Amino acid sequence: MKIKINGREQEVSVTDLSIAGLLKIAKVESAEMVSVQLNGCFVDKADTDKTFVKDSDEVDFLYFMGGGV
């Protein structure tokens, strides 16, 4: 499937990919500090393993540096 990560389209071969899984395969830096937006909506930290991405989704990894996650 094709998904947009931080505005760049990328091909992902994994199926049933959760946000938690995407954080790993995309090798997201300081993953414990990142806030994830899926199609413009924030994903609660507690829900990253039960929220799944699908074809054409847009995912943004955001950092509020300095004490904000």
Partner 1 sequence: MKNLNFITKILHTKFLKEDPHGSLHMPVYDNVTFEFKTAEDLELAFAGKKPAHMYSRISNPTVEHFEQRIRAVTDARGVIALSSGMAAISNTILTIAKTGDNIITSKHLFGNTYSLFEQTLKDWGLEARYADLTNAKETLKLIDERTRAIFLETITNPQLEVVDIQALSEAAKSKGVLVIADTTMTPPYVFSAKEFGVDIEVISSTKWISGGATSIGGVIIDHGLYDWNRNPKLKRDVVKYGPFAFINRLRREVYRNIGACMSPHNAYLQSLGLETLPLRVEASCANTFKIAEFLNKPGQVKSVNHPGLKDSPYYETARRQFADKPGAVLTFDLGSKEQCFKFMNGLKLIRKATNLHDNRTLILHPASTIFCEYDDETKLQMGIKDTMIRLSVGIEDSGDLIADIEQSLGRVR
Which residues form the interface with partner 1 (CB under 8 A)? 6, 29-30, 33-35, 37, 41-42, 60-69
- Of 27, 17, 47, whose CA–CA distance to 36 is shortest? 47
* CB closer to partner 1, 14 vs 69: 69
Residues 6+ apart with CB under 8 A from 47: 19
Q: How far is the CB of 30 from partner 1 (least distance, A)?
A: 4
Q: How far is the CB of 19 from partner 1 (least distance, A)?
A: 15
In the chain, how long is the greatest CA-to-CA distance?
Answer: 34
CB 65 within 8 A of CB 9: no
* CB closer to partner 1, 50 vs 64: 64
Q: How far is the CB of 5 from partner 1 (least distance, A)?
A: 9
